[in-house]
A and B are shown apart, each in its own frame.
Chain A
Amino acid sequence: MDARTRGLYVERALWPIGRGDRNFWLAVGGLSALVALGLYAYVYQLQNGLWVTGLNQKVSWGFYIINCVFFIGISYGGAMTGAILRLTNAKWRAPLTRLAEATAVAALLVGAVFPIIDLGRPDRFINVILYAQVGSPIVWDVVAIGTYLVASLVFLYLPLIPDLAIARDLLGSRANVLGKVYGMLSLGWRGTHAQERALARGVGILAVLIIPLAISVHSVLAWLFAVTSRGAWHSTIFAPLFVLAAVLSGVAAVILVIAALRKVYGLQAFITAKHFRYLSYLLIALGMGYLYFMISEYLTEGYVAAEEIAPVLESIFVGQYAPSFWAFAIGGLVLPLFIAGLPGRYPVARACLASILVIAGMWLKRFLIVVPGMAGPIMPWEWGRYSPTWVEIAITVGAAAAIPLMLIVFFRFFPVMSVHELDEIEGVEPAPRLAPAFAGGEE
């Protein structure tokens, strides 16, 4: 990469910082309105209790738990994408890793809130800690999600250090508040051997750690269902199925985030069709893996047709949940594989369309896991019914809007692409620093 291209790359990476054009404020305004709608619905639920939702005695898990699994899954996919690209030293990763890692944190922050929303009384969450039962999957979940959140934040921050130094040098000054923040957060980065070594070690540890950590988080979420005595959930394949679903929907979300920010921030020169093709291949591989797992699950359970699960399977395949199931299986799983995999023009648009279908399909799949599993009677009673109310829908929409809002706000203050990583891959020497190092360094 020549100096001019690198200069352009740095310029585009730092371009969103401090920019507040009309489109930015329109996006922030629109997304904030949706988030405010969700907050209003939540306050309404707090004031009136959970009866304002469609949750009931038989179907006590609905949209909130579906969203929890869904958003944490997206987060997991983002973290995995970043970690795998780093560990495999993929040469094309530089413009993508920051976006993937930021998506992971934003989605996790949203997903982790849903169990508290589902509680109805958020103050009771403290009881999970005060009266923790180590044998309870709820406690496992709190520990796993908490650990994963901290690891994701650290995994986002460490690779930012050199880029914050660039932002400090190019944008900030000591008199400027933002400059001071960059100076503090960049820890006096000058790109010395010792600093490079320390950073490479820290990022390496986290890149290795984040994968088993993310797998454990989603496995624990799956076990929350699988260790419950409900026929439709009592499955040994649930943990790998959840993990694969998470990566699949996460990669799809990363594709959408990258496509959106590429367009908004004018990154077309650096995030090219090649990146979308590679991510599409990843999407196809994961989708086929998920298809195999799903067929394996339904085939074994359907063939045995145990008394407690046969009615649930029947309701999913040909009963009241059949429209959702076939929409997911065909529209959200098989069709996207063809759209993303077929050779032809418009790879970016096709990757985006496939991702939208996958995300919608994977949300439906979570619905099909949670609701029929709860509605199906375990005693000889009639089926439970669940219809979400406007409160649940508004909170879901608000939560979904919170992710792009957080990303837009985050990238207004932090570089959208990793410059340091690009330099590492290209073997480019960093440009001379313009400002003295933060920690009293004398240059």
Chain B
Amino acid sequence: MTALRRILATAGLVIAMAAPFGGAASADHVRAIAEVKVDHAEKLEKGYVLAVKLRGSDGKPLNTATVRFYQTVEIFGPREMLIATAVTDGQGNASIPYLPARLGQHEIVVRFPGRDHVGAAVAKHTFDATVAAAPHRQAVPPLAAFSANVPYGVGVVVLSVWGLIAFALFGTVRGVLQGGRDRAIRKGDTA
């Protein structure tokens, strides 16, 4: 009896796991289609507007769908960096403002993970950014000028020390050699 229960329980689990991937769920399944568009913002310095139109394979717009905007970046290989999340309106449209961090080629990826009986969708769009945010400038910390010059100050001190050592050594060697050559009289003798 216990063995039978075990077999039935295992079979039930298999059926439960299979359900989301097929069976009843696949009967009215709709494929999602996403289209990405990139436009300049109204004010040029504001950058771009990244827009996506999401519709089902039946042509109907998908509203209140959560989409994610990514930018492809290189960090130990290509990675997707999340820019923002948006929700589509009644027409299946969603958009976000975007000011790139740098100029040049950008690849935007929009992902819709799917919901209920609607499958996932991915769309990519590449554009050449001619507007970008001003490079980040770190605020000048207090005493920055002092800190920047410390190595030079220390360098001068180190060179002075080396100069003193050299003076002590070579000055003494020269003095002793010269003093030896002079017909000077030994300490304590009178001239």
Contacts and interface: CB of A to CB of B under 8 A. Distances in A.
Interface of A: 134-135, 140, 143, 147, 150-151, 154, 157-158, 161, 187-199, 201-203, 205-206, 209, 213, 429-430, 437-442
A345 to B, nearest CB: 42
Contacts of A437: 180
Contacts of A192: 179-180, 182, 184-187
A329 to B, nearest CB: 36
29 contacts: A134-B151, A134-B155, A143-B158, A147-B161, A150-B162, A150-B165, A154-B168, A158-B168, A161-B176, A187-B176, A187-B177, A187-B180, A188-B177, A190-B180, A190-B186, A192-B182, A194-B175, A195-B176, A197-B179, A198-B172, A198-B175, A198-B178, A201-B171, A201-B175, A202-B168, A202-B169, A202-B171, A209-B164, A438-B180
Given A193-B179, A198-B178, A202-B171, 13 more contacts: A151-B161, A190-B186, A192-B185, A193-B185, A197-B175, A203-B172, A205-B164, A205-B168, A206-B168, A209-B161, A430-B187, A437-B180, A442-B183
B179 A194 contact: yes
B6 interface: no
Contacts of B173: 187
Residue of A134, A158, A193 ringed by the most chain B CB atoms within 10 A = A193
Taking chain A's interface residues, is the majority helix, strand, or loop, or is none over half, making it mixed? helix
B167 to A, nearest CB: 7
Contacts of B167: 205
A338 to B, nearest CB: 40
Contacts of A191: 186-187
Contacts, number: 107
Nearest to B171: A202
Contact of B175 (A199, A429, A442): A199
Chain B contact patch, size range? 20 to 34
Interface of B: 151, 154-155, 158, 161-162, 164-165, 167-169, 171-188
Nearest to A192: B184
Nearest to B169: A154
Contacts of A161: 172, 176
Contact of B182 (A147, A157, A194, A206): A194
Contacts of A189: 176, 180
A128 B44 CA distance: 49
A150 B161 CA distance: 11
Contacts of B154: 134, 140
A427 B158 CA distance: 37
- The 7 lowest CB-CB distance pairs between A and B, nearest first, are A198-B175, A202-B172, A194-B179, A188-B180, A195-B179, A192-B184, A134-B151
B146 to A, nearest CB: 14
Given A192-B182, A193-B187, A439 B177 contact: yes
Given A143-B158, A205-B167, A194 B178 contact: yes
B161 A213 contact: yes
Contact of A195 (B161, B165, B180): B180
Most chain-B CB neighbours within 10 Å: which of A189, A198, A201, A205? A198
Given A191-B186, A209-B164, A429-B187, A158 B169 contact: yes
A206 B165 contact: yes
Contacts of B176: 161, 187-189, 195, 198-199
Of listed B176, B177, B185, residue having the most chain A CB within 10 A? B176
B175 A202 contact: yes
Nearest to B184: A192
Contacts of B169: 154, 157-158, 202
A440 B181 CA distance: 7
B172 A441 contact: no
Given A147-B158, A201-B171, A429 B164 contact: no
Nearest to B185: A192
A196 to B, nearest CB: 5
A163 B2 CA distance: 103
B174 to A, nearest CB: 7
Contacts of B165: 147, 150-151, 154, 206, 209
B187 A198 contact: no
A439 B161 contact: no
A205 B162 CA distance: 12
A201 B188 CA distance: 19
Contacts of A195: 175-176, 179-180, 184
